[in-house]
Amino acid sequence: MDSGLSEQKQFEIEHLEIQLQQQRGMLWLLGEIMKEAVNISSFRQLMAILTDMLMGVMGVTTCYLWIAQERDYKVYFRSVELQNDFRAIKVMEIPSALRDLKGSYTFEKEEIVSPLIDCINVPLSRLAVPLKNFNDNSIFGALVLEHEEPNFFTDNTIAFFETLTVFISINAQNSRLLQSVSKESQTDPLTGAYNRRHLQKALDKVYHAKSVMTVAVIDTDNFKQVNDILGHLKGDTVLKAISQLAKGSVKEYGGEVVRYGGDEFVILIPVPIEEAIHILEEFRQAVYYIQLTYDVDIPVTVTLGVCTYPDMADDPHQAVRAADNALIRGKIKGKNRVVLAVDEDIVKSRIGK
């Protein structure tokens, strides 16, 4: 009996020592993650390092992080089945197994019937820990760990991952805040379109990438009459409506809309001129049906000057100037039309550089 009791105590001591080593290792890992976070400039970089550490130190075979965005989810993940390659993808919805998480949940073997992402095999262990917004206690995502062995996750590891999600949640929220601040600094507050600061960055990016970009400079016809007769509030409403219509017209093509100043906008569409002309012509025709000035005889229309880089202009900035010159010709010709830049407009844009 004494011998058996001694063996039992020895077993318990060894078990406690293992747990203590695990806790020390997890504390060390948490410290290393926090130190790395200090020198990292993006949330994506942080997730790349974090998932790598979790795979290497904690021994999990797959690590996912679901983060809710405005209309979809961003998923960061790494798996031994993908040679530990770090990936980030967008998905339209979070898996149903994770949708109703209230707290940490260890899935029973019978509950793990399908992979969370098609390219990963079905594991034998799965732990999910929700990411919480500490301002309103809402859940905006989840950290999910998987392993190919059953019953892999212990109370110690679960407690560690719960602590880790607090750190991830704070960083995710800070990242969102920084993105929001950055977006606001490049957005026109009235129309929601980008501002000229963003335009400069966008044009420089196109130039360095040597990518195709069609530029349209837009002027709102009869806008002074709208302001004079209906007032500036109605004028602001017209500008907002044109901005929204323009953004909707080019969104599926990866286009952007910039408020250029006053009642002028710039549209950037990364497609060849032949395709862009059709898109811009449809937008021009649609503007007429903005139902804001039907009560008075003031038709709201737009005139567009168009140029493309690199086929017509030496650089994207020149394309904007040439499109602006084409716009002036369009206004002289009678407004409410799409006018393509010609050699004369290109030459003038070089002189005015």
CATH code for position 215: 3.30.70.270
Looking at residue 1, what is its pLDDT?
44
Q: What's the rounded mean pLDDT across residues 95-119? A: 89
Domain contains 289: yes
- Of 185, 219, 245, the residue at which a domain comes to its end is 185
Higher-confidence residue of 189 and 328: namely: 328
Number of separate domains in the chain: 2
Please tell me whether residues 139 and 260 are part of one structural domain: no
Give the model's confidence band at 6: pLDDT under 50 very low, under 70 low, under 90 confident, else very high: confident
User: Can you give the residue range of the structural domain that contains 273?
Assistant: 196-351
Full 3-state SS string of 249-279: HHHHHCCEEEEEECCEEEEEECCCHHHHHHH
- The pLDDT, as a whole number, for residue 212 is 94
Tell me what pLDDT residue 220 has: 92
> Does residue 228 lie in a domain region?
yes
- Together in a domain, 147 and 35: yes
> What pLDDT score does 21 carry?
64
Mean pLDDT of the chain: 85
**Residue 229 and residue 171 share a domain:** no
Residue 169 shares a structural domain with residue 37: yes
Lowest mean pLDDT among 126-140, 170-184, 189-203, 230-244: 170-184
Residue 302 banded pLDDT, cuts 50, 70, 90: very high
For the ranges 180-194, 200-214, 327-341, which has the lowest average pLDDT?
180-194
Q: Buried b vs exposed e over 101-125: b needs ≥16 C-beta within 10 Å? A: beebbbbeeeebeebbeeebeebeb
Domain boundary among 185, 215, 241: 185
Distance of CA 184 to the CA centre of its chain: 14
The contacts found for 136-140 with CB under 8 angstroms, 24 or more apart, are: 139/101, 139/102, 140/67, 140/68, 140/169, 140/172
State yes or no: pLDDT of 146 exceeds 90.
yes
The answer to the question of residue 190 being in a domain is no
Q: What is the pLDDT of residues 55-67, one digit of tens each?
A: 888 889 999 999 8
Residue at which a domain ends, from 156, 185, 214? 185
Question: CB of 166 within 8 A of CB of 143?
Answer: no
* Residue 249's pLDDT band (cuts 50, 70, 90): very high
User: For position 230, what pLDDT does the model report?
Assistant: 79
pLDDT of residue 181: 46
**Pick from 109, 134, 119: which is nearest to 64 by CA?**
119
| pLDDT at residue 179 greater than cutoff 60 | no
**Residue 283 contacts by C-beta under 8 Å, 6 or more apart in sequence?**
245, 246, 249, 250, 267, 302
Q: Considering only 118-132, 152-166, 180-194, 196-210, which range has the smallest mean pLDDT?
A: 180-194
Domain shared by 181 and 206, yes or no: no
Any domain includes 191: no
